[in-house]
Amino acid sequence: MSAFYKNVIGAREGLAGLLVLAALVFVVFPLFLDVFRLNLVGKYLTYAFVAVGLVMCWGYGGILSLGQGVFFGLGGYCMAMFLKLEASTPEATAIQSTPGIPDFMDWNQVTALPWFWEPFRSLPLALLATVLVPALLALVLGAAMFKRRVGEVYFAIVTQAVALILSVLIIGQQGYTGGVNGITDLKTMLGWDIRSDGARLVLYYVNGALLFACILFGRFLLASKLGKLLIAMRDKEERVRFSGYDVANFKVFVFCVAAVFAAIGGAMFTLQVGFMSPSFVGIVPSIEMVIFAAVGGRLSLLGAVYGALIVNFGKSYFSETFPELWLFLMGGLFIAVVMAFPNGLAGIYKDYVRPRLARAAAGKGKAKRAAPAGEPA
């Protein structure tokens, strides 16, 4: 139990952080927000999955992936395909020239369901695909790149290329994928209407729970020897290699984990928002997902969630009130985070806020705790 407490929860400080976020996500937001706004927060929290994954592969592993939208999208599309097939029963689509297939296929003169859609009739298979397809892609990409010792810069560029390729492919093959509009009009999951208020509430909580599961898994990973190795590889990759470790395998692993997290986020997005489109797959959304992690603090799993929430709140607010200002702000954010605040909000908290809190607590006579050598992320 104590190892779990120390490694996964992160001891007292980690517990406090987790509790604060849990209170915010599970209590405060549902209490003060109506279902519509709560759904919006749920949407932002799906982006947090990607950000949390990036903390692990970028912050700790040093692997900057500018194509996480690919995995987010793949997870989302897998879920969307299942939901779309469910909504495209022969009865529901009786007016189409070919009933029983999704509407956009009918508009594009597709007359039979493509073979790769067939497995998505089954929910278990769809769920499996949500996790396996992105993981497999990450495995192939990662193995090809890291075994060849491709540099971090080239890797970033190639991930951008993959994001571009997938988004162009999806948009170009609109008969099979729904094209630029994506897959829309999703209604029910195994008969349960996901558009109802009740469903949205349930999905919000499921989303939150999954997010916390990912965070705890991430904590477990980072507290293990693997986590220390990631830090070591970021510091002196050669030394790790010459200590008998096949560095590439570790990089591939953490890249796959980040991919799976992103995919879960994508699937939850589809469920909560009711559609998935290529606008989440390409270069621009993928780089935006990086900024969520960067603002929160690339070394902080919890920070990533806050980063995702804050940047997206900012985006909705500014895009409505000062649309011209928003891109300036976001551009400025990228620059500020790189030049002034490399560890984001979590770094600011650690360097400025926490010492003050510790001093205040010490002033009240409580025992001063020195910062532990292994920080909870």
Partner 1 sequence: MKVAPEVKVQEFALYVEGLTVSFNGFVAVDGLNLYVNKGETRVVIGPNGAGKTTVLDLICGRTKATAGSIRFNDVELTRMSEHEIVRAGVGRKFQTPSIYETLSVRENLEVSFPRGRTVFGALAFRITPDVVERVEQVAGEIFLADMLDQPAELLSHGQKQWLEIGMLLMQSPELMMLDEPVAGMSVSEREKTAELLNRIGRDRSMIVIEHDMEFVKHIAHKVTVLHQGKVLAEGSMDHVQNDPRVIEVYLGH
Partner 2 sequence: MESFSDLGAILLMQGFNGLSVFSVLLLMALGLALIFGQMGVINMAHGEFLAIGAYTTYLMSTVVQAHAPGFMPYYFLFAVVAAFAVAFAVGWLVEWLMIRHLYRRPLDTLLATWGLSLIIQQALRSVFGPREVSPELPEWLMGSWQPLDGVDIPINGLFVMALSFVMTGGLLLALFRSTWGLHVRATVQNRLMSGAVGIDTRRVDRVTFALGCGIAGMGGAAFTTIGATGPTSGSLYIVDTFLTVVFGGAASLFGTVASAFLIAQTQSVSEFFMTGSMAKVLTLSAIVVILMLRPQGLFSIKTRK
Interaction with partner 2 in 276-295: which residues (CB under 8 A)?
A: 283, 287, 290-291, 294
Contact between 11 and partner 1 by CB under 8 A: the answer reads: no
Q: By C-alpha distance, which of 260, 239, 261, 240 is closest to 249?
A: 240
Interaction with partner 2 in 123-182: which residues (CB under 8 A)?
A: 141, 144-145, 148-154, 156-158, 160-162, 164-165, 168-169, 171-173
* Minimum gap (Å) between residue 277 Cβ and partner 1: 35
DSSP per residue, 198-252:
HHHHHHHHHHHHHHHHHHHHHHHHHHSHHHHHHHHHHHHHHHHHTTT--HHHHHH
Instruction: Give me the long-range contacts of 168-171 (CB less than 8 A, separation at least 24).
Output: 170/73, 170/77, 170/278, 170/281, 171/278
Contact between 366 and partner 1 by CB under 8 A: the answer reads: no
Contact between 361 and partner 2 by CB under 8 A: the answer reads: no
* Minimum gap (Å) between residue 206 Cβ and partner 1: 26
Contact between 225 and partner 1 by CB under 8 A: the answer reads: yes
Structure tokens at 252: 């591939």
Instruction: Give me the long-range contacts of 21-24 (CB less than 8 A, separation at least 24).
Output: 21/302, 21/305, 21/306, 22/212
330 contact choice in partner 2, partner 1, none (CB below 5 to 8 Å, kind-dependent)? partner 2
Interaction with partner 2 in 79-118: which residues (CB under 8 A)?
A: none
Reduced to 3 states (helix: H, G, I; strand: E, B; else coil), residue 72 is helix
Total residues contacting partner 2 by CB under 8 A comes to 43
Nearer to partner 1 (CB atom), residue 228 or residue 369: 228
* Minimum gap (Å) between residue 272 Cβ and partner 1: 31
Asked if residues 346 and 299 have their Cβ atoms less than 8 Å apart, the reply is yes
What is the dihedral sign for C-alpha 84, 35, 260, 58?
positive
Instruction: Give me the long-range contacts of 194-199 (CB less than 8 A, separation at least 24).
Output: 194/83, 194/271, 194/272, 194/274, 195/274, 197/35
* Chosen residue from 250, 269, 280, 292 binding partner 1 by CB under 8 A: 250
**CB-based burial, 59-81: b 16+ in 10 Å, e otherwise:** bbbbbbbbbbbbbbbbbbbbbbb
Contact between 253 and partner 1 by CB under 8 A: the answer reads: yes
- Binding map of partner 2 across residues 221-260, x = CB under 8 A, - = no contact: ----------------------------------------
* Minimum gap (Å) between residue 238 Cβ and partner 1: 7
Contact between 373 and partner 1 by CB under 8 A: the answer reads: yes
* Minimum gap (Å) between residue 252 Cβ and partner 1: 8
228 contact choice in partner 2, partner 1, none (CB below 5 to 8 Å, kind-dependent)? partner 1
Radius of gyration of the chain (CA): 22
* Minimum gap (Å) between residue 339 Cβ and partner 2: 6
> How far apart are alpha carbons 85 and 80 in whole angstroms?
8
Structure tokens at 178: 């729904």
Residues at the site binding partner 2, with contacts judged by CB under 8 A: 64, 66, 141, 144-145, 148-154, 156-158, 160-162, 164-165, 168-169, 171-173, 283, 287, 290-291, 294, 324, 327-328, 330-335, 337-339, 342
**What are the residues binding partner 1 (CB under 8 A)?**
3, 221, 224-226, 228-229, 231-232, 235-236, 238-247, 249-250, 253, 373-374
